[in-house]
Amino acid sequence: MDILGIDIGGSGIKGALVDTTTGTLSSERIKLLTPQPATPEAVAEVVAELVHQFQWQGGIGCGFPAVISSGVARTAANIDAGWIGVNVEDLLSAATGCACLVVNDADAAGVAEMRYGCGVGRLDTVLVLTLGTGIGSALFYHGQLFPNLELGAFPLKGGFAEHYAAAAVRKRDKLSWRSWSKRLNLFFSEVDRILSPELIILGGGVSRKSDKFMPFLTARAELLPAGLLNQAGIIGAACLAAERLAVVD
Ligand code: BGC
């Protein structure tokens, strides 16, 4: 079954049709710029434009960069504060005329990595991190997701981990790949103290450049770049929508 998967990020809003039986894209990917400021109304308009460009009328799965409980955004670390308390599912369903399922963006990416990427067959503790504007995290044990884990908000160096080690920080502070990797290594060792993951999968846009930084990374856990690269969020959101929207119908 095809579902439109959408990944709302700090810089881009990306979408593609996903064949949810195989976890592969069944259309080209379209990326529109995230409006600034990224208020609920402005983002909903861009999502509606994306849906229009696909001429899409079915279900939609959407990854969103915040804690999402029952469709409602509970945090706004890297997005407009106006999102807190907004029912993102209702907003996007109204804007697009399509039934929308909304989940945390890293949870969506994690689900896709576990089903179709590097996490396939792994029953031990797997942590999927998305490195982008912030740091997203999704934790799995026996393939089961523990939702809305916010490791980007983990205290590190007097602030939050994502303010110290996100991919955007590397660019902003013009850090070398080696210096940025050192920051990630510190983050991994702190995370290891409390979660003891056996595998850490690194996703987000920067996963395309894994050859630049993977050689500098060290962790007790096995480290792998995301198998689905930056498409995991789109694929995972669509797969979850295929299951959960079907239950609602
Ligand atoms: C948000 C997370 C999100 C991550 C990646 C963080 O700032 O708090 O919910 O998963 O960014 O987008």
Reported as a single tens digit per residue, the pLDDT across 9-33 is 988 999 999 999 999 999 999 999 9
Average pLDDT on 240-245 reads 96
Q: Which residue has the tokens 């500098």?
A: 216
Q: Is the pTM higher than 0.85?
A: yes
Atom of ligand 1 nearest to the CA of 105: 10
Ligand 1 contacts CB of residue 66 (under 6 A)? yes
SS (H, E, C) the chain: CEEEEEEECCCEEEEEEEECCCCEECCCCEEEECCCCCCHHHHHHHHHHHHHHCCCCCCEEEEECCCEECCEECCCCCCCHHHCCCEHHHHHHHHHCCCEEEEEHHHHHHHHHHHHCCCCCCCCCEEEEEECCCEEEEEEECCEEECCCCHHHCEECCEEHHHHHCHHHHHHCCCCHHHHHHHHHHHHHHHHHHHCCCEEEEECHHHHHHHHHHHHCCCCCEEEECCCHHHHHHHHHHHHHHHHHHHHC
As a whole number, mean pLDDT of residues 78-86 equals 96
Look at residue 246 in the predicted model and tell me its pLDDT: 75
Q: Is 104 in the pocket of ligand 1 (CB under 6 A)?
A: yes
Task: Answer whether 134 contacts ligand 1 (Cβ < 6 A).
Answer: yes
Ligand 1 centre distance from Cα of residue 152 (Å): 7
Is it the case that residue 239 has pLDDT exceeding 90? yes
Using pLDDT thresholds of 50, 70 and 90, give the confidence band for residue 247.
low
Atom of ligand 1 lying closest to residue 67 CA: 9
Distance CA 187, CA 223 (A): 13
CA distances from 171 to 20, 31, 72 (A): 34, 21, 31
Task: Judge if the beta carbon of residue 136 lies within 6 A of ligand 1.
Answer: yes
Pairing between β-strand 126-131 and β-strand 135-141 as defined by DSSP bridges: antiparallel
Would the pLDDT of 223 be above 90? yes
Per-residue confidence at 1, pLDDT binned at 50, 70, 90?
confident
Q: Is the peptide bond before 37 cis (omega within 30 degrees of 0)?
A: yes
Assigned token pair, 49: 């434009």
**Tokens read off for 154:** 């983990």
What residues are paired with 4 via a beta bridge?
17, 60
Phi, psi angle pair for 74, to nearest 5°? -110, -15
- d(Cα 153, Cα 36) in Å, to the nearest integer? 23
Distance in angstroms (rounded) separating the CA atoms of residues 197 and 193: 9
Instruction: Note the Cα 25 to chain centre separation in Å.
Output: 17
Is any ligand 1 atom within 6 A of the Cβ of residue 65?
yes
Residue 4, pLDDT > 90, answer: yes
Give pLDDT, residue 249: 45
